[in-house]
Chain A
Amino acid sequence: MKPSNQPSSQDRKLGKEEEQLLDELGIFGQSRRTFLNQMSAAGISLMAVPYFTSDVFAQAPKAPDLDPESLLNALEVNLKINGDTYPLQVDSRMTLLDALRERLNLTGSKKGCDHGQCGACTVLIDGKRKLSCLTLSATCKDKEITTVEGLAQGTGLHPVQAAFLKHDGFQCGYCTPGQICSAVSLLDEAKRGEVSYVTENVKDEVTQLSDKEIRERMSGNICRCGAYNNIVQAIQEVHSGKAEMPRWEFATEQELEASRTAE
């Protein structure tokens, strides 16, 4: 650590507004001390202006330039994301997921396994669901990318988002952006009559999905909390257009007994 000439936060007296600001930002204890050591008092006051006049978290992301030493094979890409174009210089190794999260502050898409096994990073590329963790940014030229941030219309939630809320299609929420992007794409696939491995005869088009079909088609999105039943229900409601009450209930004694004695 570099020795600092600045007074530590304990030494420095904060103004009332500064205290309030740090409280509202949720910066306490050691975090507050670290934060203050990195900021001059003038800095905090300046921060207060955008914080109180607009939503700092909603500002358009600006991609910081990468350290030239980390750019061994630099490439220029124009990433078209949620209707905006982001000119970006990336290393050839940078995945779309890392570009979204680390360069563009679009942190809705999540990094779960980073190996294409969990689906948390699912985004739509040219309308099709794909894994952003196995997609190199360099391959995304001229492609339309939609992330979970781009699904709502203004303040109106996408029907799949609303259904996930209604049916409690999550617990911790980490897999949810991937689940929702996946489900949005699934609805389009059903409209096109796509079949799946559980389709009885793949020669027939399938436009009305059973719960079994939805489960098979969502199997690329893992949920460690196990919210699967509610996820299927949420997707089924949007797919079928029939509003349903959440239909989970406690198992009866007989049902419990039957499951214990099942082979």
Chain B
Amino acid sequence: MRPFQFHSPSNAAEALQKHSRDQKTHYLGGGTNLIDLMKEDVERPDHLIEVADLPFKEITQTANGGLMLGATLNNTETANHKLVRKNYPLLTMAMLSAATEQIRNMATNGGNLLQRTRCPYYFETSMPCNKREPGSGCGALNGANSKSALFGWSESCVATHPSDMCVALAALNAKVHVGQADGSSRVIPFTEFHRLPGDQPEKDTNLETGELITGIELPESEFPDHYYYYKVRERSSYAFALVSAAVGLQMQGNTITKAGLALGKVAHKPWKLENVERYLEGKEASLSTFEAAADLAFEDAQPLSKNEYKIELGKKTLVQALVRAAARS
């Protein structure tokens, strides 16, 4: 690991001030991704600013009936919080499908949104990767791309976003609260928080350099009863998804009145399925409806040389999640 200076500010204002607003400074949350990347020599910061103990550790009810999840609260305490489990069980399920208890105990909510891709070319410094080293090329484009993106990729990057939590947050229409150095703040809708690679794959999100996530806002609970996070992976625990599907449904009898849907590990960002959500509204819950929904979800998929299997797998994953969500009483 390369040398760096460690800063431990006592409040958010101080943390924001300390940030050099260039790539040489990183905020340090739980460190479960960043410290690993520093050991791999992928990340090479000169300064680390510890933010894990900043006072954003509460879960509070918002004026419009939703919840605000503090950015520095860890993933375990968030997923197991009484109000999250009761009103946003989809989020609990997605968060608990990720990593292990040890890692969830360390990982912060803000950090979860900012984890980097698990594309092997990003981790291997002897390989080309535009995300790690802009201009060096994309090794995965015509290489080992069996786990790469199906949607929204570009010639310069075919990486996927690895988070499970973020897939549920996309389905639930969350918002991200962000603090800026001048003391102001802004709110970013979840679907606009992460970005597609385009010709700047080094940028995962639309955060300005130096901005600090302070909280994640959930709207009023919409899917407390019919929910499922279905995660398909190469072993049954402690693995990143090949494909995952987050499903929340509102039902009256057997009729779907509202749907919140997103897919994981198919794109550079959590893949919100707005057209499929609209398609399902007013439909009867049935296997044939769900299969048609899955066909619609993957209509625009653009497979690479080695990941065409993810289309069929993804469709079945979405159908299974829909079936299980609808079947809950």
Contacts and interface: CB of A to CB of B under 8 A. Distances in A.
A161 interface: no
A182 interface: yes
Interface string A105-146: 000000000111001001000001111001110110100000
Interface stretch (A2-10, A31-39, A51-59, A192-200): A192-200
A72 interface: yes
Given A116-B32, A203-B85, A194 B106 contact: no
A136 B35 contact: yes
Interface in B9-39: 28, 30-32, 35-36, 39
Nearest to B104: A220
B102 A139 contact: no
Contacts of A220: 99-103, 238
B323 interface: no
B4 interface: yes
A114 B76 CA distance: 22
Nearest to A71: B3
Interface string B300-317: 000000000000000000
A26 B248 CA distance: 64
B75 to A, nearest CB: 12
Interface in A126-170: 128-131, 134-136, 138-139, 141
A137 to B, nearest CB: 10
B32 A202 contact: no
Interface string B94-110: 00110111110110000
A208 interface: no
A50 B105 CA distance: 42
Interface in B30-86: 30-32, 35-36, 39-40, 48, 50, 52-53, 76, 79-80, 85-86
Given A194-B76, A197-B237, A203-B85, A116 B36 contact: yes
Given A202-B85, A202-B89, A138 B6 contact: yes
B96 A93 contact: no
B1 interface: yes
Contacts of A119: 100, 102
A73 B3 CA distance: 7
B167 to A, nearest CB: 14
Given A119-B100, A139-B52, A131 B89 contact: no
Contacts, number: 106
Contacts of B93: 197, 202
B200 interface: no
B191 interface: no
Most buried by B among A114, A122, A186, A197: A197
Interface stretch (A14-22, A211-219, A254-262): A211-219
A185 interface: yes
A136 B31 contact: yes
Interface residues of A, number: 40
Contacts of A114: 39
Nearest to A92: B6
B103 A195 contact: no
A194 B105 CA distance: 12
A95 interface: yes
B193 to A, nearest CB: 24
Contacts of A197: 93, 96-97, 231, 237
A195 B102 contact: no
B89 A217 contact: no
Contact of B106 (A130, A189, A195, A196): A130
A75 interface: yes
B101 A129 contact: yes
A93 B4 contact: yes
Contacts of B52: 139
Given A73-B4, A138-B6, A195 B31 contact: no
A75 B50 CA distance: 14
Contact of B1 (A93, A199, A217): A93
B100 A219 contact: yes
B92 interface: yes
A95 B3 CA distance: 13
Nearest to A189: B101
A132 to B, nearest CB: 10
Interface of A: 72-73, 75, 91-93, 95, 114-116, 119, 122, 128-131, 134-136, 138-139, 141, 182, 185-186, 189, 192, 194-197, 199, 201-203, 215-217, 219-220
18 contacts: A92-B3, A95-B35, A116-B32, A116-B103, A119-B102, A129-B102, A130-B106, A131-B32, A134-B32, A139-B31, A141-B8, A192-B80, A197-B93, A201-B89, A202-B92, A220-B99, A220-B101, A220-B238
A-B pairs with lowest CB-CB distance, top 5: A220-B100, A219-B237, A92-B6, A72-B3, A219-B238
Interface of B: 1, 3-6, 8, 28, 30-32, 35-36, 39-40, 48, 50, 52-53, 76, 79-80, 85-86, 89, 92-93, 96-97, 99-103, 105-106, 224, 231, 237-238, 328
Given A73-B5, A219-B238, 16 more contacts: A75-B6, A92-B4, A92-B48, A134-B30, A134-B31, A134-B32, A136-B35, A138-B50, A139-B53, A195-B96, A196-B96, A197-B237, A202-B89, A203-B86, A220-B101, A220-B103
